[in-house]
Each structure stands twice: as structure tokens, then as C-alpha cells.
Amino acid sequence: MSPDSEPPTLGATKVWTTLITNLSYLPGLLTLEFSLRKVGSKYPLVVLYTDSFPAEGHAALDSRKIAKRHVPYLLPSVPKEYTNDTRFYDCWSKLTPFSLIDYDRVVQLDSDMLVLQNMDELMDLELDSPDMAGSGDRVFGASHACVCNPLSKPHYPKDWIPENCAYTTQHGSPKLAQATGAAATVGLAIPNGGLQVVNPSRAVYDKIIAQLSTPTTSTYDFADQSLLADVFHGRWVALPYIYNALKTLRWDGVHKPIWQDEKVKNVHYILSPKPWDEPEDLWKEDTVIEQNMDETHGWWWKLTKERRAEEKLRGVDDKF
């Protein structure tokens, strides 16, 4: 499917979803959607929006004929203060795909991702059936969170160190790391919430909502992924890093021993700045103009320039 073709109909039973609550992630979302079509995915992206998403954002989605649906803004009954990482307030709502029971399969993607290779196989990943009500050992699929804290953020948990990271255990077998994730119980056993492969289930969603009503949520340092790691400890399918390739894994001194550019299917632009927060003129023909720039940001800009060129041909020319 070409990137400028009409989006697939919503008669699909398997979909990609991504959450949007404000305009700050909209450029990332639009390039994510473009990248999915660019690699020839058979499945549509459905944007999950909350009440806070403004009219300007809706207009941008509508002009591009990107499917969308409303979801509630989830918050725990006992809040945790995320003063140092305010983005986590929005992250609870990334648990809503578990409730979308009109679909057989949902793969939730963060809007700051870029798909480099087709990964439609995730739509057929073996998971527990919904009628197991979250009691099995394959409740959802995800890649491990990297707990190395490469920026040495002082507010991160003290046990977030390389020795406790699941990816560290794979340094000696980089070939295997492209195809297999470390077991879900390895290291701190925390899934990264950026990509979640889900068989929607009312019973599983009810377990999540019930947990949001407990005081335990006040101890969750990383919102949605902390909850999933707690409620379904070790009972999730650990995917290889290639499906949620955190850009920091590629850095020297982090997990460069396992990172292989040609194997990565989906880059995740965690932390700040996001590629779209940097001036476009810093990137020219895949060349890093300034020192200390993250090379993977150039990958995003290359595809974004292609997206915008295609959009102009269709009469879409806004600031996003």
C-alpha cells in the first residue's frame, strides 16, 4: 500500500492504536501513521483520543482521513506525583486498548515511534484468549523496559542500573537478541509500555481498573508499565527489542552490543528532545550537522519530509 492511498476501513478486526491527548505529539503520530503504510501494513491505525485533544488536532486527523475513537482519560484513585516526568499522567490511558473488545487484536504504539519494517506478524502473536480472564502466562506481549537509566536521572529508582536490565543479559548473544526477548521474569521484569500486543478482554480490563482503585498505584514510578508489571508479573510475552527499539539502546555504553540497525523494525524516541522538537534544518541528507545529535532523529526527519511532500500533493499543508 502506498503512503498516499486511502486508509483501510474500520471493518478490521485487528488494528494498531496510538493514544493522543494534546498537540505536542501530533507530528510524531502523523509520521507513525505514514510509516505503517510505508512498510505495507495490512492493518489500519486507529487514534485513541481523550477529551483534552483539541479541535485543531481533530482537523489534522480528519484532513488525512486517519481513523479515531474516543477513550476515557484514566487516572488512579490514589495519585502519584510525577513532577519530574509529567508525561506519565497521560500514560494511564494507554491501558484502554484492553477494553476495546470489538477488536480481536490491538497493538498499541506510542506516538513517538517510527516503523522501519513491516511487523504485521504481531497481529498473529500467540496470546491467551480473552476468556482466560488474565489468568494465563501470555496475557499480553511487550518488550522489556531498559532500566539502565543512561541519563542518570536522580529521581529514577535506585535499582534502575545496568546490572538489573534484561537487555544486559543478552550482550553475549546479539544474534539471539534480534529474534528472542529475555524471559519476562529476567531483571526487574518490567515491560515497556510503548508497544503492547493485546487481545482485548473485559475481564482483564476490569482487573486493571480494580488496580487503579487501590493505594498501590501511589508506588508506581512508571504509571501503566509499572501496573502491568505488578498485576501480571512474569505472565507476559517478552518480545525482542527490535519491536520497541528504544533509541537509547543504540548509545555507547548502553546496549550497543545487541543493536543492529538493519534488524530494527520500530524505533521508539523516548525521552526529550523528540525529533520534531529540534529544528528541521539541523538535518540534511541524513547528515548530522551538529555534534551530539542522535542519528536516529535523522531517520525520523527523512520520513517526515517524505510524508509532508505526499500530503502537499493531496492538498494537506499544515504546520504538522
Q: How many domains does the chain have?
A: 1
- Give mean pLDDT, residues 119-137: 98
Q: Residue written as cell 519494517?
A: 117
Domain containing residue 276: 14-280
- 253 lies in a domain? yes
From 86-95, 102-111, 196-205, 280-289, the region with the lowest mean pLDDT? 280-289
Beta strands per DSSP E along the chain: 14-20, 45-49, 67-70, 105-109, 113-115, 140-143, 195-198, 237-239, 245-246, 266-268, 283-284, 287-288
- 294 lies in a domain? no
Question: Could you tell me the CATH number of the domain that includes residue 102?
Answer: 3.90.550.10
Tens of pLDDT along 198-255? 999 999 999 999 999 999 999 999 999 999 999 999 999 999 999 999 999 999 999 9
Cell numbers found for residue 97: 486498548
- Give mean pLDDT, residues 147-174: 97
Tens of pLDDT along 211-220? 999 999 999 9
- 167 lies in a domain? yes
Give Cα separations from 217 to 9, 185, 231 (angstroms).
38, 21, 11
- 187 lies in a domain? yes
- 295 lies in a domain? no
- 304 lies in a domain? no
- 271 lies in a domain? yes
- 124 lies in a domain? yes
Write down the pLDDT at residue 84: 66
Write down the pLDDT at residue 6: 41
Does 285 have pLDDT greater than 80? Answer: no
